[in-house]
Structure 1
Amino acid sequence: MRIEHTADHEILITSPTSSRSGQRNFRLNLQLGKWWEQHQALGEAFDSNTGFPLPDSFVLSPDASWVSAAKWDALTMAQQDKFAPVCPEFVVELKSASDSIKTLQAKMLDWLRNGAQLAWLLVPKTKTAYIYRPGQPEAEVVEGFDTALPGETVLPGFRLERRELR
């Protein structure tokens, strides 16, 4: 089980993912990992088991994330060994059948409020991607999984091939 908590210390418990969701999450992390192998100097990538204590007291765990080298290297080794007190610049949430879309959309806004620069909510069932950026009142909605999502300036050169997440 994954346990997160809100700023009000409300405990959020998520059951383990289904086989298909686990398969998709693996493929998502594999793509991010391949990009990271070529761009290690830019920062660190993390999987869904990583919890981040955020400035507003939330502790959240995205399905995949990336923290810049500047933020990561500013942490002490002791901070890196525990729940690193840093908000990833890039986060991805992959909706599974048991997830609530409204809860995940709210979570994406929590990430932005705490410092994320690019946040993706991917919904395989409807083949929809919601792209969140700071300062934008609403998420950009991208339909269909036939096109890749670019990492923009946050992850230069990264392109998520969504068709691999079907």
Structure 2
Amino acid sequence: MVLSLHLKPVLMLDDDQFFELCGINRDLRLERTAQGELIIMAPAGGDSGRRCANFLIELGFWHRRNNLGIVFDSSTGFKLPNGADRSPDAAWVKLERWQALSESQRRKFPPLAPDFVTEIRFPSDALKTLQTKMQEYVDCGVQLGFLIDPETQRVEIYRPGRDAEVLQSPQVLDGEDVLPGARLNLQDVLF
């Protein structure tokens, strides 16, 4: 279940207040749009959580072999350049970009767009909403994004300056030049 709360003009949360709100409501997944709208999502169900964990394991295996950056799970919020606070299901940031952040920036929602993101569609997610979110990521600087839809067994690949590429039932996804050498097995994510 996803709820949207329009706070403006009654209430305006600054970045610190939003971070605190997320901290005291850990049972919810909270995001904030660039317009200040609060998005409230329930925790993932078992099957959805399993799929996300399996994707993170694949990304983690690649990360351990290459150590080129930092991997993040769905509990990590990112302050995007457009002002939105988003939490992709999986994300990765190049090491030099992560190291360029101050310690205080790393402790809160890092003020950057990850280099790579993944969203896995849960049964309660509207496809159009996730497609819009994926485009927002790319517009903010994400270099590669995967929208994985287990229900239809489709994957949409997002890259800057290109239309989304749609793959039907892929077994493996290539990390291209963003995740060099990554071959992410989707067997336990899509099926």
Measured against the shorter chain, the TM-score band is over 0.9
Q: Distance in 2 between matches of 1:76 and 1:61?
A: 20
Aligned to 2:62: 35
Q: Distance in 1 between matches of 2:59 and 2:186?
A: 12
* Post-superposition offset of 1:123: 0.3
Q: Distance in 2 between matches of 1:5 and 1:118?
A: 22
Q: Distance in 1 between matches of 2:59 and 2:187?
A: 15
Q: 1:24 aligns with which of 34, 48, 51?
A: 51
CA deviation string 1:15-73 (max 9, x = no partner):
11111001101101111111111111x11010000000011000000000000012101
Pair 1:114-2:140 in alignment: yes
Q: Distance in 2 between matches of 1:164 and 1:158?
A: 16
* Post-superposition offset of 1:143: 0.3
CA deviation string 1:108-150 (max 9, x = no partner):
00100110000110001111000000001x20000014x2110
TM-score (norm 2): 0.84
Matches within 5 A, 1:77-88: 77-88=103-114
Aligned to 2:99: 73
Matches within 5 A, 1:1-166: 1-40=28-67, 42-136=68-162, 138-145=163-170, 147-165=171-189, 166=191
Unaligned residue ranges in structure 1 (runs of 5+): none
Give SS of 1:129's match: strand
Unaligned residue ranges in structure 2 (runs of 5+): 1-27
Q: Which amino acid in the other structure matches residue 62 of structure 1? A: P
Q: Which amino acid in the other structure matches residue 177 of structure 2? A: T
Give SS of 2:184's match: strand
TM-score (norm 1): 0.96
Q: Distance in 2 between matches of 1:85 and 1:19?
A: 31
Runs of 4+ displaced beyond 6 Å: none
* Post-superposition offset of 1:164: 1.6
CA deviation string 1:65-117 (max 9, x = no partner):
00001210110111111111111010000001011100000000010011000
Q: Which amino acid in the other structure matches residue 38 of structure 2? A: I
RMSD of aligned Cα (Å): 0.8
